[in-house]
Structure 1
Amino acid sequence: MYGWIIYNGHLQSDAFLTFANWVSDAGTKKGIQIDQIKNNELLVMLDDETPLLSSGQQRPKPSFVIFIDKDISLARQLESLGIPVFNTSQAIATCDNKVEMYEVLHQANIPIPKTILAPKIFSKQQNIAFESFYPIEKALNYPIIVKEGYGSYGEQVYLIHNREALIEKIQDIADRPFVFQSFIQSSYGKDVRLYVVGDEVVAGLRRENTNDFRANVAAGGKVMPFIPNEQQKQLAIAATKAVGADFAGVDLLFGESDEPIVCEVNTSAHIKNIYDYTGVNIAEHILALIIK
C-alpha cells in the first residue's frame, strides 16, 4: 500500500501540519509510505490525458488518500481516477456547508437544535424584506442563534437577543448562506467533542467556557478528557454515518434533561487536542480503518 495525505498548502498552521505528520508516522509504523501533499501542488485539469497537473515532484498513483482539506473539487477529481478518498468529497461538501449538513442530519432523524433555513438573498444591496423574518421570533424565542453556513472555530456563530440585533446581523451576512437556531440554554458554554472513526468513538473531550456561550477553545474554552455514555456514543456514530464520513469530530450539546443534541459534524477536526488530553492518536485509528 502507498498513500497520500492532502492538506491545505495556504494554511500553514501547526494543527494541519501535525495531522499530516502523525498520519505519515502512523504509516511508517505499519510499513506504509504516506506522502504529505499540499492541495496547491495538485492542479485539477479537466482533461482526460492529464487530469492532474503537479507543481511538486511526480509521484506514483496512491492506493488511498486521506483528505484533511476542504478542496472539494480536488477530492472529486481523485475519486474520478478510482482512488479511494477518506473522507469522501461528498462528506466533506456536506459538512463544509452547515446549511446542507443540518438538512442531512434532520433527514436522518438525528436530533439537532430547532433550525430554520434562511431564504436566499443575492446581495447586501437588495431591499431585504425584514418583516418576513419576524415569525422566527415566535418559532425560536430570544435569544436566537444565527450561524453562517461556512465558518470555523465558532467565529461565524452569533447569539442574538432582540429584533434590532437580528435585523443588523441579517443585513451583515445577507449574501451568505446561514441558519437560525434555538439556543440550547442548558448547554451554555459547554459541549463535548467525540471523535468517531468507522463504527467507534475512539476519544472524547469536554469543553467549558464561563465567559462565552460558545465552548470552542478559540473562544476561550477549557478542555478536559471526557468518557461518553452509550447514548452519546451511538448518536455521534449515527451522525457521522448520516453525513457519509469515515471519521469525524462530532460536537454534542447538553439538552434540558442532559440528552445529547448534535451541534456540528466536522470532517477535518484537529487531532492534537485529543492526544494532549486523552493520549489517543487519532491518526493511528484512521489508518487502521483504511487498512481494514
Structure 2
Amino acid sequence: MKGWLITNAFLHTHKFTEIHLWLTEAAKKVGVELIVKTNAEVLVKLDSDFNTVKEVNSDDNPDFVLFWDKDVRLAQYLEMKGFRVFNSSKGIAVCDDKSLTHLYLQGAGIVMPKTIVAPMTFTNIGYNNLDFLSQIEKELSFPIVIKECFGSFGQQVYLVANKQELRTKTAEIGAKPMLFQEFIPSSKGKDLRLQVVGNQVVAAMYRYSEDGDFRANITNGGKMKPYEPNQKQIDLAIKCCKVLGLDFAGVDILFGKNMEPLVCEVNSNAHFKNIYDCTGINVADSILAYIIKRICIGCK
C-alpha cells in the first residue's frame, strides 16, 4: 500500500518536520510506503478537460492521501480527482476557521462557551465603526476572550478586562476574522486535550498553567500530565469529530462551572509530540492503523 503525505512547501520548522517524520516512520512499521509531497509539487491544475479520473501523477498514484496541511483547495482538488483524503477538505476547512467550527458544533447541540462572531469587513477598510462592540459588552461580561479565527497554539487568543481593552484589541486585530467568547473562570489556566482517531480517544492529557496565564497551551509555557477522561468527555470529543467529518483530531475541552465539559476548539491536524511526551502514546501509529483499516474496508 502506498500513500502521499501532503505537507506545506513553505513551512520549515522542527515542530512540523518532526511530525512528518513520525508519520512516515509509523507507516514503515505497518508496511506502508508514505511518500512526502508538498503542495508546491502537487499543484491544482484546472482546465476544460478536467475530470475525476486519478490523473494527478498517473505513475505515482497513491492508495490514499494523508493531508497534513491547510491548503484546502488542494485537498478538495485531490478528492475531486477520486483520491481518499484523510482528513477531508471540508473537515480541515471547518476546523481551520474557529467561527465555522463553532457554527457547525452549535448546529449539533454541542455545549460551548457563549460565542459571538465579529461582523465581516474588508482588508482595505477594517473596522471604521466599532459600535457593534456595545452588543458584545451586553451579551458577554468582562473579562472577554477574543480569538482570531485563524490561529494555532493559543498565540492568537487574548483576554480583555474592560471596554477600552476590548476596543483597542479589536482595532489592533483589524480586518482579520475574529470572535468574542465568554470567559470560563472555572477553567482558567487549565483544559484537556483528547486525541481522537476514528471513533476512539487514543490519548488524553490535562494541561495547566502555573504562571497565571488564562491559556493552558504548552507552547505558551503550560504544563501537562496524563489524564483519564470520563465517559462524558470521551463522548463529547468523538461527537465533535463526527459532526465535523474528521477522521482524527485533537479536541480541547474546558471545565464548566460544575465541571461539565465544554468544547473549546477542535484541531484537525493536531500536533501530537506533546501528548507523546506526556503519555508515551504515539498517535501516528493509531492514525496509520485507522487509514489502513478504512482503505481495506473500501476495497471490499
Q: How far 1:269 moved relative to its partner?
A: 0.6
Two-structure CA RMSD over aligned residues (Å): 1.8
Alpha-carbon distance in 2 for matches of 1:127, 1:278: 45
Q: How far 1:133 moved relative to its partner?
A: 1.6
* Cα deviations by residue, 1:55-78 (Å, 9 ceiling, x for unpaired): xxx851111011110011111111
Alpha-carbon distance in 1 for matches of 2:50, 2:123: 40
Alpha-carbon distance in 2 for matches of 1:233, 1:149: 25
Point out the more displaced range, 222-231 or 19-28.
19-28
Contact 1:124 1:174 in 2 (8 A): no
Q: How far 1:17 moved relative to its partner?
A: 1.8
Closer, same or farther: CA 127–231 of 1 in aligned 2, 3 Å: closer
- The aligned residue for residue 291 of structure 1 is 292
* Cα deviations by residue, 1:162-208 (Å, 9 ceiling, x for unpaired): 11111111212231111111001111111110000010000011111
Amino acid at match of 2:91: A
* Structure 2 segments unaligned to the other structure (5+ residues): 294-300
Number of positions where the alignment pairs a residue of Structure 1 with one of Structure 2: 289
Contact 2:24 2:34 in 1 (8 A): yes
Point out the more displaced range, 190-199 or 131-140.
131-140
Q: How does 1:31-42 map to 2 (within 5 A)?
A: 31-42=31-42
Alpha-carbon distance in 1 for matches of 2:9, 2:125: 34
Amino acid at match of 1:144: I
Closer, same or farther: CA 127–91 of 1 in aligned 2, 3 Å: closer
Point out the more displaced range, 169-178 or 95-104.
169-178
Q: How far 1:236 moved relative to its partner?
A: 0.5
Where 2:251 maps in the other structure, the secondary structure is strand
Alpha-carbon distance in 1 for matches of 2:119, 2:239: 28
Q: How far 1:53 moved relative to its partner?
A: 7.6
TM-score (norm 1): 0.94
Where 1:236 maps in the other structure, the secondary structure is helix
Amino acid at match of 2:191: D
Closer, same or farther: CA 135–52 of 1 in aligned 2, 3 Å: same
Contact 2:126 2:175 in 1 (8 A): no
Q: How does 1:64-213 map to 2 (within 5 A)?
A: 64-123=64-123, 125=125, 128-211=128-211, 212-213=213-214
Q: How far 1:130 moved relative to its partner?
A: 2.1
Q: How far 1:15 moved relative to its partner?
A: 2.6
Where 1:44 maps in the other structure, the secondary structure is coil
Q: How far 1:138 moved relative to its partner?
A: 2.2
Amino acid at match of 1:111: V
Alpha-carbon distance in 1 for matches of 2:159, 2:124: 21
Where 2:196 maps in the other structure, the secondary structure is strand
Contact 1:116 1:180 in 2 (8 A): yes
* Cα deviations by residue, 1:61-110 (Å, 9 ceiling, x for unpaired): 11101111001111111111100000000000000011111101111111
Alpha-carbon distance in 2 for matches of 1:151, 1:127: 20
Q: How far 1:9 moved relative to its partner?
A: 2.0
Closer, same or farther: CA 248–128 of 1 in aligned 2, 3 Å: same
Point out the more displaced range, 13-22 or 84-93.
13-22
Point out the more displaced range, 124-133 or 78-87.
124-133
- The aligned residue for residue 15 of structure 2 is 15
Alpha-carbon distance in 2 for matches of 1:127, 1:74: 32
- The aligned residue for residue 282 of structure 1 is 283
Alpha-carbon distance in 2 for matches of 1:109, 1:117: 17
Where 1:99 maps in the other structure, the secondary structure is helix
Contact 1:196 1:236 in 2 (8 A): yes
Contact 1:122 1:174 in 2 (8 A): no
Matched, 1:234 2:235: yes
- The aligned residue for residue 25 of structure 2 is 25
Closer, same or farther: CA 174–199 of 1 in aligned 2, 3 Å: same
Contact 2:193 2:206 in 1 (8 A): yes
Where 2:40 maps in the other structure, the secondary structure is helix
Alpha-carbon distance in 2 for matches of 1:276, 1:28: 21
* Cα deviations by residue, 1:107-152 (Å, 9 ceiling, x for unpaired): 1111111001111122474563323321221211000011111011
Contact 1:204 1:227 in 2 (8 A): yes
* Structure 1 segments unaligned to the other structure (5+ residues): none
- The aligned residue for residue 265 of structure 2 is 264
Amino acid at match of 1:44: V
Amino acid at match of 1:207: R
Amino acid at match of 2:289: A
- The aligned residue for residue 215 of structure 1 is 216
Alpha-carbon distance in 1 for matches of 2:205, 2:132: 40
Amino acid at match of 2:18: T
